[in-house]
Amino acid sequence: MELFDLIQTRRSIRKYTKQKIDRETLEKIATAGLYAPNAGGRQGTKILMIDDADLIEKIGVINANCENRNWNAGVSSDQPSIIDDKTIQSGFYGCQALAMVCIQKRSKTAVNGIGTAFVCAENMVLQACAEGVSSVIVGRAEATFQQPELEGLPEKMGLDPDFMPIVFVCLGYIDGPYPKAKPRNEGRLIFYP
C-alpha cells in the first residue's frame, strides 16, 4: 500500500480480539517508531513493549481512571472510547500488545520532548496498519504511572529510571468491521498566498 493510501486508511480502533500478535510483527512496528524523526537527531525515545494481556488490563484500568470521563463530546460511535461508554473499564480496550513510548524526564519540558514521543507513536500506528494490525494512541501515560499501585513498574520492566512513559500505543486485531473514514471538516487547509 502506498504511504498516502495507508495514511487515509488507518483508523483508531478500540475493539480487539484475543488473538496475540507475533513477536516479529511487534518488532517491525516498534522499529518503525525508532526510525521516527527525533528532536535534534538524538534518538531520544525508548519503547517498552508489553504483550502480557493481564498486565495490560491492570495498567489500562488505572489509565481509564486517570481520565475525566464526563466530557459532553463524543469520540466515536463505531469505536467508542472510555469517554463515550462509561462501562468500558480499561483505557486500552482489551488490546493484546501495548507499546509505551518513553522520553528522558529532562526532555518533558523541552520544546520538542513530548512531540517526539507522539511522532514515534504515529510511525508505529502506520506500520501496524501496514501489517494488518489495528491500533489506537492513548495518552495519560505520565498520570497513569504516578498512581501508587504502578510506582516503579517501568523500571522493574527494564526502563532506565531517567526515562518516563509519555504515550501508549494499543495494538491488536480488530473485533468487528473496520470503520470508514469520516468526512474531513472544511476549512482546515489554508494556502497563503
The grid coordinates listed for 111 are 520544546
The grid coordinates listed for 116 are 517526539
In 63-123, where do the E strands start and end? 97-104
d(C-alpha 166, C-alpha 103), whole Å: 7
What is the pLDDT averaged over residues 133-154? 96
Region for 167 from its dihedrals, namely left if φ exceeds 0, alpha if ψ lies in -120 to 50, beta otherwise = beta
Q: Higher-confidence residue: 84 or 122?
A: 122
| 87-117 b/e (C-beta count within 10 Å ≥ 16 → b) | ebebbbbbbbbbbbbbbbeebeeeebbbebb
Q: Is residue 1 part of a domain?
A: no
For residue 16, what are the domain limits?
Answer: 12-172
Q: Is residue 191 part of a domain?
A: no
Number of domains in the chain: 1
What is the pLDDT averaged over residues 82-102? 94
pLDDT confidence of residue 83 = 86
* The pLDDT of residue 140 is above 90: yes
**pLDDT, tens only, 105-138:** 998 888 788 999 999 999 999 999 999 999 999 9
Q: Is residue 192 part of a domain?
A: no
Q: Is residue 144 part of a domain?
A: yes
* The pLDDT of residue 72 is above 90: no
The answer to whether 135 and 141 are in contact (CB under 8 A) is no
Q: Is residue 182 part of a domain?
A: no
Three-class secondary structure of residue 100 per DSSP: strand
The CATH number for 118's domain is 3.40.109.10
Alpha carbon distances (Å) from 76 to 7, 11, 179: 19, 11, 10
Q: Is residue 179 part of a domain?
A: no
Q: Is residue 190 part of a domain?
A: no
The grid coordinates listed for 114 are 513530548
What is the pLDDT averaged over residues 94-114? 91
* Proportion of the chain above pLDDT 70, given as a percent: 98
Sheet strands side by side (includes 45-50): 45-50, 97-104, 163-172, 134-138
